Copies of this chain bind each other. A is one copy, B any other.
């Protein structure tokens, strides 16, 4: 019988292939990595021999030589109630699918909002080439850590820190669309509650809001726009004023504002949506289980994951920032505006 089981040797190394062919390691390396000039003939021979020996490159060794890991770290929230939401799992799916197509792997860390210890371990152990954050708190220790260590990273969602790469939807058009819906569903006096205009995202939202009125031909009342809202108290005050102004709807710039506004309404015993409607611009998962369900803009978590993955990979490899365009979203109409 033939010695055909040399085919299934435990592990063939690049060196083994080289020796079997009587060439040098570098020749084999060049062929397999596609770098450097190689005669077509030897290329063929190497390829064939490698295939025959079932050679599989050792990614770890390659990584050591190139200071790469071919791993992307993903930080997922640890909190139980967030775990219940499929948002993150779907993000993860998008991320995995994308990075694996480039032969990268995903290393996950579950971490509470203010706990960067898992991420720190990951970085200390040099296990990842880049990181995807799936949420961010203000003064996020994770962000700090990543910046300090010069690790390429992106954030899924929005943060006020404009220096971090954020994977997000087209806020302007989404806000325009949501506003248009509100107008068409009969809201004649909608108030807009916005955070600081020094954040681009809020400017976009404002523009979308204005555009919607322009397109609809309805009168736009700028006195119903409250921007630069920060802190609980400011929101409560705004809600108070809004109620006096005889509004029939409140559009909140983000979920933090929305939560506060809802609390204020509750305190004043105003019922949603009977006495006033409310909608939240934007998609963070915290509102998902609220009663009544809140109309809002939702991003597709799978797509967010995909885009985030592509972006970190570009940050790592292509240098070019990969202007990946905007992400799709959907307006999800819930009871709060019916």
Residues of chain A touching chain B, judged by Cβ–Cβ distance below 8 Å, are: 56, 58-61, 63-64, 69-71, 78, 80, 83-84, 86, 88-90, 92-93, 96-97, 100, 103, 105-110, 118, 121-122, 124-127
Contact = CB atoms under 8 A, between A and B. Distances in A.
B78 A93 contact: yes
Copies of this chain present in the complex amount to 2
A318 B100 CA distance: 31
Contacts of A118: 96, 100
Nearest to A88: B89
A106 B103 contact: no
A290 to B, nearest CB: 18
Nearest to A63: B60
A128 B71 CA distance: 12
B110 A108 contact: no
B64 A61 contact: yes
A272 B110 CA distance: 40
B93 A110 contact: yes
Nearest to A123: B56
Q: Name which of A100, A108, A122, A127 has the most chain B CB atoms within 10 A of its CB.
A: A108
Contact of A92 (B100, B105, B110, B121): B110
B86 A84 contact: yes
B105 A107 contact: yes
Contacts of A103: 121, 125
A60 B71 CA distance: 12
A108 B89 contact: no
Given A106-B108, A108-B106, A109-B100, A125 B59 contact: yes
Contact of A110 (B71, B88, B97): B97
A96 B109 contact: yes
Nearest to A105: B107
Contacts of A60: 60, 63-64, 69, 126-127
